[in-house]
Amino acid sequence: MRDVSIVGVGTTPVDKHWESSMRELGVRAINEALLDAGVGRDEVDSLYVGNMLSGKVVDQENVGALMADFADLGHVPATKVEAACASGGAALQAGVKGVMSGLEDLTVVLGVEKLTDVCQCEVNEGLAYAADQEFETFHGATFVSLNAMATRLYMEEFDVDHEDLLRFSVNAHRNGANNPDAMFQSEIDLETAMDSPEVADPLKLFDVTPICDGAAAVVLAPSERADEYPETPVEVSGIGNAVDSVGLHDREAFVEMAATVEAAEQAYDMAAMSPGDVDVIELHDAFTVMSAMGLEDMGFVEKGEAPAAAREGRIAVDGDLPATTMGGLKARGHPVGATGVYQAVEIVEQLRREAGANQVPGAETGIAQNIGGTGSNVTVTILERGD
């Protein structure tokens, strides 16, 4: 089993890119990652593309071939990997397995999503494809309404004040203010978050993420060759992926995501680490309740204690559990199938000590949680600064 490292990263800013098509965004991220790794297009062995809604929104599948074509990568093997909002994390892990298999050396993983340019009702319809069509969406449930119910339950189960959930959002916006790739680069205060309009009771505007476009790419190589590339390599020490029932009604628990618990366990085992070894935590904060559950389910705090951790400032960049350090899904934005790759890029920036004002001092390890559906498909990835 050979070790795999990230030797190059590239992103577009997350935004409503009215001027760029999906393929253009993807090419920009790939180009930047290849440049960062100092490698030519003809050196690439393979391409994996994380994407969820290209069919629904862009009328385009076959996105693996399309991106290889327009990024001029020649006849490389290329496929699209889909796991709803965890498509980026799943594509990253598919790429890691590709290199681990010994069949591929230099591999590019791209996450790309283009959600503007169409009626946003189409996007909402598409996002609900992550839920169970027969048992949830057919009956009118939207993705936001399902998460609203999960939020209500969590608040009641642990007697949580809404404002303690919104502190995750305030923290994310504080960090996003220093991230030039972030969609929202302005801080908000708790009062603004609490006074924001309701989206679906009890969710307020600042509990949820924006609809946006973006692309992020990483270049993978066998760790034994990682010192051939110009930047500090970052090793993929652990990967985990687990699923749960797609419909919320079939879950054993609503206030805990079994898929996160299981995926984190796989990743910790492979990395031979425990939560105490992790310096940077990228949560899939699509909804504030997901931030809270993520912190708990990956073992950083006990069940029900994440809101208190947020209140006590522990999730800030200078806290002991620095979370969503570059703005998270909330402020950096959530270009669905690209998010998991953005998370990896941001951890790489932290471990290379290039995170600027958001730098977690001396960060050596980071963990990224990427959630598909309402917790039905979760990837957890642990990254470690190379020597």
- Residues recognised as catalytic: 85, 334
In this structure, the strands spanning 365-372 and 280-282 are: parallel
User: Minimum distance between the CB of residue 52 and its own copies, rounded to whole angstroms?
Assistant: 6
Cβ proximity of 163 and 194 under 8 Å: yes
User: Minimum distance between the CB of residue 129 and its own copies, rounded to whole angstroms?
Assistant: 4
What Cα–Cα distance (Å) separates residue 330 from each residue in 53, 66, 81, 112? 20, 29, 24, 18
What Cα–Cα distance (Å) separates residue 106 from each residue in 12, 20, 69? 21, 27, 17
Cβ proximity of 278 and 365 under 8 Å: yes
Q: What is the DSSP string of 176-245?
A: HTT-TT-S--S---HHHHHHSPEEETTEEGGGBPPP-BEEEEEEEEEGGGGGGSSSPPEEEEEEEEEE--
Cβ proximity of 50 and 67 under 8 Å: no
User: Minimum distance between the CB of residue 356 and its own copies, rounded to whole angstroms?
Assistant: 34
User: Minimum distance between the CB of residue 377 and its own copies, rounded to whole angstroms?
Assistant: 4
Spatial distance between the Cα atoms of 279 and 350, rounded to a whole number of angstroms:
10
> Residue length, the chain?
387
User: Minimum distance between the CB of residue 8 and its own copies, rounded to whole angstroms?
Assistant: 21
Task: Catalog residues that contact its own copies under the rule CB under 8 A.
Answer: 1, 21, 23, 52-56, 58-66, 68-69, 75-84, 90, 93-94, 96-98, 100-103, 125-126, 128-134, 137, 239-247, 250, 258-259, 262-263, 266, 270, 372-373, 376-377
Cβ proximity of 125 and 179 under 8 Å: no
